[in-house]
Amino acid sequence: MTTNDTFQVWLKSPAPDSANGHFQSISAQLKTARIECCSSRVSEGQSAVLLLLDDQITEEQEQECLREVLELERRVIALYMGEKKLPFFRVWRLLGMGVDDVLDLRGKFRLADALKSRLHRWSSIESILESDRVQKTLIGSCPVWRKILRQVVEVACFSSAPVLILGESGTGKELIARLVHDLDKRQDKQSLILLDCTTIVPELSGSEFFGHEKGAFTNAVANRDGAFALADRGTLFLDEIGELPLRLQAELLRVSQDGLYKRVGSNIWKKTQFRLVCATNRNLLQEVDKGNFRQDLYYRLGTCIVHLPPLRERRLDIPELAEHFLAHALQTDTPPPFDPLMLSFLLSHPYPGNVRQLRQLITRIAYRHTGDGPVTIGDIPEADRECLSIAEHTWKENGFKESIRQALANGVGLKDIKRVAADVAMDIAIDEAAGNLQEAARRLDVTDRLVQGYWAGKKDSDD
């Protein structure tokens, strides 16, 4: 995105004929900050888009223009040039559609400086995303996953804020915690200390967190540092924070705010300073409502909240993840490819255990594979084949028959039922393929042209 601190941006308007004057004035302003404006699509992959809006542009024009640029995974800044006050509901709608920021050009600020700082930040984030540290450990390139990684990189590199990682079991919460620690830019950064809250014995919980003095209790034969001391100037990662007893929640809140604690059996206050990263598969807001989790601690932890998606919401990443796990299991940099039938199996397999379950599956498959040829359907262990056969016979029972029954009761004919079922299948395949129509066609086992025709018709009807 940058070359010697020079940036390129795509200056775009839903109504280009009426925006020519603005194009010239904005281009002249930004040129002083070494930001080059192009009125057509910039070939460079991650160039940002400046979307010019005014009072006359309709919601439909905005949506159509945004679809084009957001499909390219571009950062978008909306520049409002209207004469009237910009309504907040319009700003909120733009943010909801995927715009990164909205700048009202009637405000008294220097546009070039405002844009340059944002472009610098985004360029740094993209550079880190492409580094081996991220690419070789947090595998995946689908839009939803890359968006989350951008969020993690930004909070890790440009703040010292606590991070709360939410997600189902097996979605990679510990990997994200380690990435936050690795990217933390503190000059005197020390170790990452991991503590699993599910393994803490209540009788020894004080010692685990605070440490203890020799003789503080039976078997305390020597002084011992707890997690708070070990994490000093480093990062404390508390896994499954939702399991922490209320008494310890209060202590954690106090230490994270004040940085002071006492060892068990001691009257001397000690200082500690650490970055706090927590993870849980529980819904902590629900736990707050139930009285199982302190509200003040929740808001302390939730300065930055990262929601990790389950594997079913990032199925496009399954082939890449599977190849990575296969290479690791076979201890090679060039693993054999998966044949088409095996890829279909991997893409359709249920993963309640998410990425962890996929890794275990690939490991079992790797143990069975022999020779230099592709990994085939015969490499699937017997137990995993049984899971697939059960899924094959039960998909029709999971609400599908009931939906058909309700449609017939409401007088819907077979022709309309077929049409609706086909449309729903199209929508699901396109959604799970993150808008990649070729991948959706492959999953549906239909031609690319059929999916493209459906999608074009859908967009026309939406407009």
**What are 49-106's pLDDT values in tens digits?**
888 888 888 888 888 888 878 777 788 999 988 888 888 888 998 888 889 999 988 7
Q: Which of 265, 177, 257 is nearest to 214 (CA)?
A: 265
| SS3 readout for 87-106 | CHHHHHHHHHHCCCEEEECC
b/e 148-176 (16+ beta carbons within 10 angstroms → b): bbbbbbbbbeeeeebbbbbbbebbbbebb
DSSP E strand stretches across 175-267: 192-196, 211-212, 224-225, 235-239, 260-262
- 195 three-state secondary structure: strand
Angle, helices 437-444 vs 414-432, to 10°: value is: 130
**What are 288-314's pLDDT values in tens digits?**
999 999 999 999 998 999 999 999 889
pLDDT at 357: 95
Contacts of 241 (CB under 8 A, 6+ apart): 164, 197, 278, 279, 280, 284, 301
Contacts of 65 (CB under 8 A, 6+ apart): 12, 13, 14, 51
The letter for the amino acid at 390 is I
* CA pair distance 340, 60, nearest whole angstrom: 41
pLDDT at 64: 83
For the chain of 463 residues, list the mean pLDDT of each consecutive stretch of 10: 69 75 84 83 68 84 82 85 85 88 83 89 92 92 91 94 95 96 93 91 78 73 84 95 90 90 85 95 94 94 94 91 95 92 87 95 95 92 71 64 82 88 87 78 84 78 61
| Radius of gyration (C-alpha) of the chain in whole angstroms | 27
Q: How far is CA 192 from CA 184, 195, 233, 275, 438, in A?
A: 11, 10, 9, 9, 43
The letter for the amino acid at 164 is L
Is-contact 117 155, C-beta < 8 A?
Answer: no
* CA pair distance 274, 269, nearest whole angstrom: 16
Look up the pTM and report it.
Answer: 0.81
Task: Return the ∠ at Cα 402 (arms to 397 and 407), rounded to 5°.
Answer: 140
Is-contact 15 57, C-beta < 8 A?
Answer: yes
* CA pair distance 174, 176, nearest whole angstrom: 5
The total of other beta-carbon atoms located within 10 Å of residue 247's CB is 11
The total of other beta-carbon atoms located within 10 Å of residue 120's CB is 14
